[in-house]
Amino acid sequence: MPAPILGATVPDHIPDRPPKTPPPPKRPISPPRPDTSLATTARAGMLVRNRRAANWQLAAASWSPAKAAAHVLRRLHEWGHAEVNGPAQELTELLVRTAVADGGRRVSVHLADQGREALIVALSHQPVHAAADPDLLPELARLGARSCGTDTAKDGRRVWAVFAL
């Protein structure tokens, strides 16, 4: 045995096995998988400013078009537009009937007016991948819509019409 170094402590017992080795390192965190879905742009949300607006949520049921039309007519009358019963009712019923046909659980109806025009929007809250009915837009125009349209996104199909008050 070698001579002890001054000031050093000498262990009385020398172990017969090596000290415990540390555990191996854990697997490194793998980088996130690449996104293989198609890149899409966000649909512009509805923004209503500086005008009167109202909205309602209804169950997607057979009675929803008539109830939505009653809500829209009542609000238009409150705003002083009592002479638009026919076009407003027919347009609202067709828009909501189209949204109900998409098969969601609820339908949102939005109404806004500006100047001598009103906008009615129905949102189905059900993502639809089927093609839109080709007769819908001509029918909306026949009922008195000055402008109308439809678009589809993850949150459902939106159908809308602008008509004169």
Residue 40 covered by a domain: no
Domain CATH number, residue 88:
3.30.565.10
Query: 3-class SS at 103?
Result: coil
Residue 132 lies in a domain: yes
Domains held by the chain: number: 1
At residue 119 the predicted structure's pLDDT band, cuts being 50, 70 and 90, is very high
Residues 51-78: tens digit of each pLDDT: 788 989 999 999 999 999 999 999 999 9
Inside any domain, residue 117: yes
What residue numbers bound the domain in which 97 lies? 59-164
Whether 11 is in a domain gets the answer no
Q: For residue 66, tell me if it sits in a domain.
A: yes
Q: What are phi and psi of 120, to 5 degrees?
A: -120, 130
Please indicate, yes or no, if residue 139 is contained in any of the structural domains.
yes
Both tokens assigned to 5: 């170094």
124: CB partners within 8 A, 6+ apart? 60, 98, 99, 100, 102, 103, 104, 107, 156, 157, 158
For range 146-154, the mean pLDDT? 86
pLDDT in tens, 72-100: 999 999 988 878 778 889 999 999 999 99
Residue 156 lies in a domain: yes
Nearest to 68 by CA among 50, 34, 91, 87: 91
* For residue 125, pLDDT beyond 60: yes
* Higher-pLDDT residue of 92, 37: 92
